Amino acid sequence: MTDPDHMARFTEVYDAHYPRVYAYAVSRAGGQLAEEVASETFCVAWLRIRDLPDEPLPWLLGIARNIVRESYRAQVRRESLAAELRTWTTTATGDVGDDVADRAEMLGALAQLSDNDREVLTLIAWQGLSPGEAAKVLGCSKATFFVRLHRARRRLAHALSTQPPAPPSRARAERKVTR
């Protein structure tokens, strides 16, 4: 796979365009991530050397743009997960059993739903995908996904309302007794 012509072409493209790809990365992602973005861009270019157009700069900048977007998406997912974990740790007011009972109730309601409904809900709530991304995963349009999401949420609400309540935790029972 190390065709000398490909290596020469890649070296020529790298030498000619690295500074501009790096500058683009600095302008879009900042100095800390620019080197990583530029390096990943040229890794992709090497892997797709046969797809390299005659004028490679726009193509390279498109790759860099996609890498920056994916980097931001990953950062948003990490921050969202961290916020969710902080919420779980800060909302435990007194007895963790209350949170466990609520979680068990939600999981019980989810178990009553079809696989399709569970998948629609978890792509958004647990995987952190946008509706557009989730629609791509399911192979449907964004509008169709919104309809499926609305219906799945409605069925989840119904499952929650018809599910028997979880037994009260000791802290809940003690609060009721002391009132």
pLDDT score at 15: 96
pTM of the model: 0.47
Nearest alpha-carbon partner for 60 in 18, 26, 28: 18
**Confidence band of 171 (pLDDT split at 50, 70, 90):** very low
Determine which of 1-5, 60-64, 142-146, 154-158 has the lowest per-residue pLDDT on average: 1-5
- Return the C-alpha torsion angle 20, 24, 27, 31, nearest 10: -70
Average pLDDT, stretch 122-130? Answer: 83
Question: Which residues are within 8 A (CB) of 120 and not within 5 positions of it... i.e. 6 or more apart?
Answer: 134, 138, 145, 148, 149, 152
DSSP 3-state assignment of 70?
helix
Tens of pLDDT, residue by residue over 21-47, are: 999 999 888 888 899 999 999 999 999
